[in-house]
Amino acid sequence: MTSSETTPAAPSAWDSAVLAGQPDPHFMQSDAWADTKVHTPWKVSRLGADASPLPVQLFRRGVPALGTLLHAPRVAGVKKDAVPALTEAVRRHASAKDFAVKLEFFQHDDDEVLATFLENGWMRTRASQYRFAVALDVSGTEEEAFARFKKRARYEVRSAEKAGVTVERVPLTEENISTMVGLVNVTKDRSGAFFRDRNYLSTAWNAFAGHDQGALYFASHEGEILAGAFVFTYGTTGWYKDGGSTRSKPKLMAPRYLQWEIIRDLRNRGVTRYELGNIPAPDAVESSSSAGLYRFKTAFSDSTVRYLPAVELPLRGTQKLWHTQEHRYLGAYSRLRHDYWY
C-alpha cells in the first residue's frame, strides 16, 4: 500500500488526560470530536479528572420547553466502585437548566456495573449509539492478525491482491473528499442506510486528520476507485468510521482488500484493536436489513461485542416527558431537518 507520510501530532492536554484516565477510550471523548461538534448545536462541557473518578467529555443541547440535555457519549473504563462518585460529580457539574444526563458506554456489558448505576439513581434509556459491533484483535505479527480472519475473508483478500487491486492512504484534499462523499452516497442509495451530509462528514474528517487521528483510504483497480474508507484512531484503537463502494467489478472484492490494507497500515501506527462498527444483534440477523453487512464484517472475526446499555440520570421533573417522548421528538426532527439530532 502506498501512503502519504505525516509527522505524528503530539496529543493535546485533554487527549492526554483521557488516554490516561479512560482505559481504551472512544474517539467521541477526544478533542477532535469536540472540534467536530463545535459546528453543531451541541456545546462541549468537560468534567476533569480533578473533579471526577475519570475525565468525561459531555455535550449540552437545548430541548424546547424542557431545558438542556447533557450527553456523555461512549465513556470507557467505569468501574462499579466508581459509580457513586461519578454520579455525584455529574450532579455537581450540571447546570440549573439541565434536566437529565445521558451516559453511553464504550465498555463490555456488565450486569454488576449496570445494577450499580441503577442503584445510584440512573435509569435505562434509549441509546443514540449502536450496541453491537465487530472488534478485531490486530495485535501480534501480521501473519497472526491475518490468521484470525475466517477462511472466506482470507481467500477474498488474496484474490483481490492477485487481481491487481491496490490500496492507498491519500491526503484529505477537496477532490478526495468529493470522491469519498460520492462513494458514501452510492452506498446510501443502494442500502437505504442513513449517512450524514457532506458538510458534517468533511468537518469530522478534517478535525480528526488535523489531530493525526484520521486517514482516508481508496481501493482501486486499473485507475478506477472502487471503494473508500475514512478511519479514526484514538490511543491504540481504530474505527472504520465511514465507507462506500461502487457496484463496478464486484468480483474483485475491493472492499475486503481495502480493510486488510487498512489494518496493515494501522498496525504500523501502533493500533492493536480495530472496530468495524455497527452490526445488528447477533440473535436477530436474519430478520435485519443489515444481514449482508453482518456477514461482511463477521468474516473478519467471529468475535462480536455487546456494550453496556445507555443510562440516564434525572435532574429535573421535565426528564419524565423526555424519557417517554424522546423517540417522537427525534423522529419529528429527522423528518423536518433530514438529519440526526445527536
Taking only the tens place, the pLDDT of each residue in 271-287 is 999 999 999 999 989 88
Residue with cell 484474490: 159
Residue 11: pLDDT band with limits 50, 70, 90: confident
305/96 Cα distance (integer angstroms): 37
For position 195, what pLDDT does the model report? Answer: 86
**Each residue of 120-167: pLDDT tens digit?**
999 999 999 999 999 999 999 999 999 999 999 999 999 999 999 999
Q: Tell me the CATH number for domain 40-129+307-337.
A: 3.40.630.30
Query: Does residue 112 have a pLDDT over 90?
Result: yes
Listed in sequence order, the residues at least 6 apart from 202 whose beta carbon sits closer than 8 Å to its beta carbon are 177, 181
Give domain limits for the chain: 40-129+307-337, 132-305
Which homologous superfamily is 132-305 in? Gcn5-related N-acetyltransferase (GNAT) (3.40.630.30)
In the chain, the N- to C-terminal Cα span, in Å, equals 36
**Do 40-129+307-337 and 132-305 show the same overall fold?**
yes
51/309 Cα distance (integer angstroms): 25
